[in-house]
Amino acid sequence: MIALQKIEKRFGDTPILRGIDLTVHEGKVTALIGPSGSGKSTLLRCVNLLEIPQAGTLVLGDQRLDFRPGAPPPRRDVLAVRRQTGMVFQNFQLFPHRTVIENITEGLITVGQWPKEAARVRALELLERVGLAHKAEAWPASLSGGQQQRVAIARALAPSPRLLLCDEPTSALDPELAAEVVDVLAGLAREGMTMLMATHDLRLARRVADAVVFLDGGTFVEQGPPAELFARPTDPRTRRFVQTLLGEVGA
C-alpha cells in the first residue's frame, strides 16, 4: 500500500499542496487530473522525494517517513523510497549519447550494481514488453516520441519498482503516438502494476485508472471511478474541467 497523509508542500510562501490524503492500493491505478498549477506534478515528485514535503506522512510498503519543517529525512530513507519507485516524465529524459538499451542498463549497472550481462538481459526483456526489442541499438534521436516514451517506461520498470509514477506521459505526443503509450500502460495495469499518474488525457484515465482524483488549488476536490466521475461529477469545478477536456477530445 502507498499512503499519503496530510501532505503539505510550499514553495517559499506559496502553498502548493494542502493537507493531501491519498491511498493507492497494490495493483491499482490512480489518475490525478486538474488544471495546470493544481499540484499534480508536485504531488508525484513528493512521492519519490524529488520534492520534500514540509508536513505530513508518506507510507510506501514498509517504509514510513514523517515530514517536519526544517528537518529533511535522512538520505538513507530517501534512497529507500526511491528504490521502490519508477518515474516516467513528460519529456522522456533519455540520455541522447546512449543507445536505447544503454539508457535502460545504465541505472541498473551504476546504481543497482547489476552485472552488465544481467542488466542487458533485463533490458531486452523490457524492450520486448514495450514492443521495441528491434530498436535496442538505436539512438534516441532516431525514435518517434511515442517510441522514446516507451523506452522511458522500460527504463522506469528496470529495477522492478513497487510503484510507477507517470507525469503527463502522453501530453507531448500526437494522438496516434499517444495511443502507443496508452496501450503499454494499459498492459501494465492488466498485469497488476501499481501506478499513480498525472494526466490531462481522459482516454488514458478512462482506460487505465481504477480511480480518478480531481485536484484544484492543491486540494482534493472529488474522486471516484472514472466512469462515474467523468459522467456525473458532483462539484462544479470538476464539472467545468471535465467538460473542457471532453470538448478538446471531441467526446
Tell me the per-residue pLDDT of 63-106, one tens digit each, with 9 for 90 and over: 899 999 888 899 999 999 999 999 999 888 899 999 999 999 99
Rounded mean pLDDT of the chain?
Answer: 92
* Backbone torsions φ then ψ of 84, nearest 5 degrees: -100, 0
CB 150 within 8 A of CB 181: yes
pLDDT for res 171:
87
Please, which contacts does 175-182 make with residues 24 or more away whose CB atoms are closer than 8 Å?
176/146, 177/144, 177/145, 177/146, 177/149, 178/146, 178/204, 179/146, 180/131, 180/146, 180/147, 180/149, 180/150, 181/146, 181/149, 181/150, 181/153, 182/207, 182/208
Q: Residue 251 — pLDDT band, cuts 50, 70, 90?
A: very low
Q: Residues spanned by CATH 3.40.50.300 within the chain?
A: 2-84+166-249
Identity of the amino acid at 115 = P
Q: What's CA 121's distance to the chain center, in Å?
A: 25
* Closest to 108 measured CA to CA, from 96, 97, 94, 120: 120
Which DSSP helix (H) or strand (E) runs through 166?
Answer: strand 163-167
Under DSSP, the state recorded for 134 is G
pLDDT for res 247:
67
CATH 3.40.50.300 fits 2-84+166-249, yes or no: yes
- Lowest average pLDDT, out of 133-137, 191-195, 209-213, 241-245, goes to 241-245
Cβ count within 10 A of residue 25: 13
Mean pLDDT of 171-178: 86
Sign of the dihedral defined by the CA atoms of residues 86, 88, 94, 99, in that order? positive
